[in-house]
Amino acid sequence: MISPYWDVRTHAFAQPAWLIAARRHPLVLSIWCACAGIGAYGAMYLFRKPFTAALFAQAPFAPGMKSWLVTAQVAGYMTAKFVGIRVVSAMPLSRRIGTMLALLAGAEASLLLFGIGPTPVRLAALFLNGLALGMLYSMVVGFLEGRRMTEAFVSGLVASFIVADGVAKSVGTWVLAHGVSEQWMPAMAGLFGVPPVLLCLWMLQQVPAPAAADIAARAERVPMTRADRQRTFRAHAIGLTGLMVAFLLVTVLRSLRADFAPELWAALGASGDASLFTRSEVWVASGVLLVNSLLVTIRDNRRAFFLSLGSGMAGIGLVAFALLAQRAHRLDPFPFLVLMGLGLYLPYAAVHTTLFERLLATTRDRANLGWLMSIADAFGYLGYVAVVLLKSFVPTVAILDVFTVTAWTVVVGAGGALAMTGGFFLRRWRADAATTGAG
């Protein structure tokens, strides 16, 4: 067997013999895992983000319609995250590839509906699009968690959606420039994602379970029951709440920056050419990937946890610096939005790549990353829906003003929440160490 095919008996892609042999080599397996995760989720962005490259300010769209369209999609995405708290946390890996294929088919179908229908149907179509896509990230992470190289894999995954956000907008802008209407552009752009996502999902299905050494270093990750979820959250409620609050605030600002990028660039007086979105995000992704990948070299789980928490707080400080420099007219639009992106994605990526991973590795609770990420994302997008709804009801408020006010809220609120989290776990683990030493 030299090529993949769908095995109707196991409901999964069959594993070629050459790959079974090759993946036993640690370097080959690491490269394979990284490429599979990065490619899969990066390609999924072509089903989600290209529509944000359009302004939707002319017929058949009413003025201010883009805010409502963004709200509809994010509301669907948020709903899927809440559903995922239970569904993803309990779903075994054997069922994930087929589920993701079905959800992606639904996402593209909703974009076709967006092209066909009148305004109320388009709002419903984008809600369904977000609903279909909202659980995919947690499902992809399930194939990569609980390994000694997890930080490197998930750092690549985070970098992929930073870059993919810009690439998706560039693809959307390119499709519009070639004469495709705004209502049909999202569906057309989504078709570009079909070949790479199929290839990368097949690659993910070939990833073997963590080795014994991985389990010893990072703890086994298993599907969770309701009792598992309740017990784990109660044990770390204060620390997890601090992380969730910080993540909520950072998600709101990150999403504003992503979904209203054309408007922000225009408000700052920058050119809106198609390559601008990709170039800015490549710089952001490179910095985030460098910082978070280095943490894979730290074997001590508690030390890695606190270093990652520190990188998140440094990111919040970078946001404050960029705001002050821009207010003093010391930063041009490009470095300002790049620094804002880097400052936001450092804490955002810290949660995705290290904080939850090393927390589970330290506590060895019966849990998985899909559950923790679904909770964080659900409340993060709930906050974003509230902000976008406010913007929709008050369309006269400039997006740059909304962005700036939200950014200062992040500096104060998220910075304080991360400090609270650090204090909680520091006291908890010092007490545990003292008890262990006494025993």
pLDDT of residue 273: 66
d(CA 263, CA 257): 9
Alpha-carbon distances of 183 from 65, 118, 157, 180, 283, rounded to whole Å: 12, 10, 30, 8, 31
Domain, as residue range, for 374: 13-434
- The answer as to whether 400 is a domain residue is yes
- The tokens 């109320």 sit on which residue? 120
Residue 344's domain is classified under what CATH number? 1.20.1250.20
Q: Rounded to two decimals, what is the model's pTM?
A: 0.81
- The answer as to whether 169 is a domain residue is yes
Residuewise pLDDT in 10s, the chain (439 residues)? 334 444 545 555 555 665 565 556 677 888 888 899 999 999 999 999 998 888 887 767 777 788 888 889 989 999 999 999 999 999 999 899 999 999 999 999 999 999 998 888 999 999 999 999 999 999 999 999 999 888 888 888 887 877 888 889 889 999 999 999 989 999 999 999 999 999 999 999 888 888 888 999 999 999 999 999 999 999 999 999 999 999 999 999 988 888 888 888 888 887 656 677 788 888 998 888 888 778 878 989 999 999 999 999 999 999 999 999 999 989 998 899 999 999 999 999 899 889 999 999 999 999 999 999 999 999 988 888 888 777 777 666 788 998 999 999 999 999 999 999 999 999 988 887 777 654 4
DSSP string, 198-242: HHHHHHHHTPPPPPHHHHHHH-------HHHHHHHHHHTHHHHHH
- The answer as to whether 8 is a domain residue is no
- The answer as to whether 3 is a domain residue is no
- The answer as to whether 1 is a domain residue is no
The values of phi and psi at residue 135, to 5°, are -100, 0
d(CA 244, CA 233): 12
CA dihedral 162, 156, 202, 189 (to 10 degrees): 10
pLDDT of residue 22: 55
- The answer as to whether 366 is a domain residue is yes
Number of domains present in the structure of the chain:
1
d(CA 147, CA 133): 25
Residue 6 parent element (H or E): strand 6-7
- The answer as to whether 365 is a domain residue is yes
CB 207 within 8 A of CB 33: yes
- The answer as to whether 251 is a domain residue is yes
DSSP label at residue 295? G
